[in-house]
Amino acid sequence: MGCALSGSGVVQDPTASEEKRCSLAEDGPDSGEEGQRQGDGKAPEALLLSEAQKALVQLSWEILHKDIARVGVIVFIRLFETHPECKDAFFLFRDIDDLQQLKMSRELQAHGLRVMSFIEKSVARLEQEEKLEQLAFELGRSHFRYKAPPKYYEYVGTQFIQAVQPILKEEWTPEVEKAWETLFRYLVATMRRGFYKEEKASGVNLSLSLRRAGADKTPNKI
Ligand code: HEM
């Protein structure tokens, strides 16, 4: 998958080349020690959304929010199509192989709604950056407990953007896309920092063990 979220949502090492920054985003900090340290993040990321971009996100969300149940399912079905290994993190439906059957699963629908509710809360907090940061950081911490590694978070943003385009039709413009990319890039970077913070506190190198195992086959107790 390309570096779809390579917008300007996060302050990163200004000396890093674009290629390097994209490859960090693609592989994630779990792909190496350097990334581990970056994920530990001393400095929080800055939300680089202009007021105009915030308004674009808010206005498009007003149109989208009535479709969030559908969008939530589409996003995760596409995530599982493109990255089947992500399904292993979900104890409740990891054993359903048929994606058509999975689409009808109540658990998947409920999970999709939880994720979309998080996006809704994020949109509502665009003017309160501290609260937004706290929200995404805590979510990253809980994803450590869910054994859901950061390298996949950005794909949720990519799939979200693809899923909402047909709903917004002509309201979807390159500016709207850029604004959503920037928001997701920020959320993903903040979640990633939360994940590594929790990992460090736990003393368990989950990223490494998941990588070594290919995928952790121990069911999550969720
Ligand atoms: C931008 C990316 C993502 C967002 C915004 C997101 C959001 C959420 C939210 C809001 C919840 C509900 C529970 C809570 O609030 O702690 C949740 C749960 C969970 N997520 Fe994510 N998630 C993302 C990516 C992923 C990925 C890529 C995976 C798998 C590889 C994953 C696996 C899980 C699991 C296993 C749970 C617990 C089960 C459940 O609530 O159904 N998440 N996620």
State the distance from the centre of ligand 1 to the C-alpha of 170, rounded, in angstroms. 30
pLDDT of residue 57: 97
* Nearest-angstrom CA–CA distance, 12 and 24: 10
Q: Euclidean distance between the first and final Cα of the chain, in Å?
A: 29
- Ordered structural domains, the chain, with CATH: 61-213 (1.10.490.10)
Specify the ligand 1 atom closest to the Cα of 86.
30
Of 19, 41, 39, which is closest to residue 30 (Cα–Cα)? Answer: 39
Atom of ligand 1 nearest to the CA of 107: 41
The pLDDT score that the predictor gives to residue 212 is 64
> Dihedrals φ, ψ of 13, to 5°?
-55, 110
Cβ neighbours for 208, distance < 8 A, ≥ 6 positions apart: 30
pLDDT at 42: 55
Q: Which residues of 98-117 are buried (b: 16+ CB within 10 A; e: fewer)?
A: eeeebeebeebbebbbebbe
pLDDT of residue 203: 80
Walking along the chain (222 residues) 10 residues at a time, the average pLDDT comes out as: 38 36 36 43 80 97 93 94 90 85 89 95 96 97 93 93 94 96 97 94 77 52 38
In this structure, the residues whose C-beta lies within 6 A of any atom of ligand 1 are 86, 89-90, 111, 114-115, 118, 139, 142-143, 146, 148, 152-153, 156-157, 187-188, 220, 222
CA-CA distance, 78 to 61, in Å (whole number)? 21
pLDDT of amino acid 8: 39
For residues 79, 85, 90, 96, the Cα torsion angle rounded to the nearest 10 degrees is 90
